[in-house]
Amino acid sequence: MQLPRDLIETIFHFAAANSKDFCDSICKVSTWSRSLAQCYLFVTLTITDAKSHFQALQITTGNIPHQPSQLTPGALVQNIWMDHFAESFVYIFGNCPNLRNLAIWCHMFESLANASNQAALKRLSEEAISRTQELHLFFITHENCGWTTDLFSAAKNSFIFPKIKRLQFSQIWDYRLFHFSSFSLLTHLALPCSDMRCHTIDGIDWLLKNAKNLEMLVVILMIDSLDEGERQKVENFILDKRHVQKGSVLYGYSTLSLDVQTEWFEETKGALSIWERAIQYTERMVHQHFLVQPKIECFDPIPLPHELIEIIFHFAAADSNDFCQNICRLSTWTRALAQRHLFVTLTITNPRSHFRALQLSAGNILHQPSQLVPGATVQNIWMDHFAESFVFIFENCPNLKNLAICFHAFMRLDHASSRTALIPLSNEAISRKQGLRLLFIIKENVASDAVNLSQTISFIFPRITRLRYSWTGNYAEIPLSRFSLLTHLAVPYTASQFDIFEETVPQLWDATQHLKMLVMIIMVDQLHALERRDVEDYIRMNRCTSNPGERLYGYAMLSQEVQTEWLEETKGGLDIWERAVQYTEQLVDQSRRA
């Protein structure tokens, strides 16, 4: 049965809008599918580094590769998260006429407020100033700049203040710093409560008295910064206000400070907004506080053994990070059960996750049970930046199993057992008995460093039992013969010359002695169909020969899925070796049937 073209297009539109990964994938399939899905790639701009900043400038300028003539990328942008490059914000804002959600720093907002001034260095066009739009603004600032008398005195003359209908802060020093009079059309306001010295009950009361036109005032309880007593005090105040004043605009909501960005992005994809979550949270609070559950007389509940409850919680927390975070918020008891599962995998890709990893490995976390050593619970690390900190983190994580690191981080670890090392490892860390699975995740110029590496006497080489590359190159640059206990090796194939591949495989067999599996990872997004078929035919042919060909396996994947599959593997999914066995068996079966 052939589906109508209109239905296929509808399915593609819906799926692309719902999933950025799906959208990115079908953009690579064909010109037709790219024209359908490309617009959804530009709905949300995340500007956090130089690369994403350059891409945002290209999109808002309308300068993107393979751009359909009828497509205006800037007009498709609805959401912007921008925590760097403030100097470009006014320009980007001016080229995005359909913006709805902004997550920016205070000084970016200040430059935007002044952009309608005739004397402004970066002035907006009259068309941009006169737009009719409703903006939801989120301040992600880590400083108090922007909240000055000069800024608010200019509010009457600025075009931007009347456009702000909903406003959320990630930080604010004092509730009394907020000027309600400036935001004349503001209907929703959300403020954090993370420090009772600044975010007082009196401050919340002041907000209520001055919130003349607000429909919702949400107090966000940062549960990783407040203790149980402080949180209960604020919740009781909210309950009292809602009990005394029917239809009160005051609501509560609790979250972790680390989850704020994640929740914002989920909201832009259609998930519940902060306002909807606050309504649900407050309704639960009221229900639990004021209502008595009816007693059910039809049967007596069967109490589960305490040990069984703990096993269920441990299993669920280990399987789902979302479940783990949720039960960490319920009570001290559930937090003690689940907290260790939050630290099983460290993903270090930016300064924030790097700082958090340093805190964990140093044992410096909030509300830490006395018997919990966070570093000892870490089993997996993905670290594609900050190689200079890797030795310290490795030192404090004695139960590591899976490492995904760049080559230079590995080299630092290799030298850490030397007496001349700048950051030496302790004898206890060097003498650990552990088998490690290693993935090199960044392509670097390793040739010169590999020479020095091959001349050192290191503790780390005999620990590596399974090794995998995410980049191609001359694999002989790294001395594979040094990995004396290596049993599994996986290398990607993206080369356009098949004869290079045929030369590579014998070199890899010669470089390793105890290898049980050699997996050639076929990067399907970097090969033509004929090249992929040549590699698969080579693997089939070698599987039919004697040793070592029977130990050669294949596996096909997209290059951008390396991290996703690695993280799934750490959660108990099939690892690269199991997937390679299944894929190769399918290749052989197809050959036999043919």
If DSSP codes are grouped into helix, strand and coil, which group holds residue 338?
Answer: helix
Residue range 131-139: mean pLDDT, rounded: 89
Nearest alpha-carbon partner for 111 in 133, 87, 83: 87
Name the helix (H) or strand (E) containing 348: strand 345-348
State residue 451's pLDDT score.
Answer: 46
CB 441 within 8 A of CB 408: no
CB 345 within 8 A of CB 397: no
Name the helix (H) or strand (E) containing 569: helix 562-570
* C-alpha span between 546 and 198 (Å, rounded): 74
Residue range 92-104: mean pLDDT, rounded: 92
Question: What is the 8-class DSSP label of residue 38?
Answer: G
Q: Which residue has the tokens 């899925």?
A: 561
Residues 6+ apart with CB under 8 A from 162: 184, 185
State residue 498's pLDDT score.
Answer: 63
* C-alpha span between 310 and 275 (Å, rounded): 33
* C-alpha span between 474 and 107 (Å, rounded): 48
User: Which residue(s) pair with 489 in the sheet?
Assistant: 467, 518
In this prediction, residue 22 has a pLDDT band, given cuts at 50, 70 and 90, of confident
**Largest Cα span, the chain:** 83
Task: Name the percent of the chain in helix, strand, coil, to the closest 5.
Answer: 50, 15, 35
pLDDT for 152 beyond 60: no
The pTM (predicted TM-score) of the whole model is 0.49
**Of the given ranges (22-36, 318-332, 446-460), which has the lowest mean pLDDT?**
446-460
Name the helix (H) or strand (E) containing 277: helix 274-290
pLDDT for 144 beyond 70: no
Tokens standing for residue 457:
């006497």
pLDDT for 594 beyond 90: no
* C-alpha span between 346 and 378 (Å, rounded): 7
CB 27 within 8 A of CB 38: yes
Nearest alpha-carbon partner for 404 in 577, 569, 582: 569
Residue ranges per domain, the chain? 1-41, 42-290, 487-593
State residue 251's pLDDT score.
Answer: 94
Strand order in the sheet with 250-255: 44-47, 79-82, 101-104, 135-139, 164-169, 188-193, 216-222, 250-255
Residues 6+ apart with CB under 8 A from 386: 348, 354
CB 480 within 8 A of CB 511: yes
* C-alpha span between 390 and 407 (Å, rounded): 11
Nearest alpha-carbon partner for 402 in 576, 585, 182: 576
State residue 338's pLDDT score.
Answer: 73
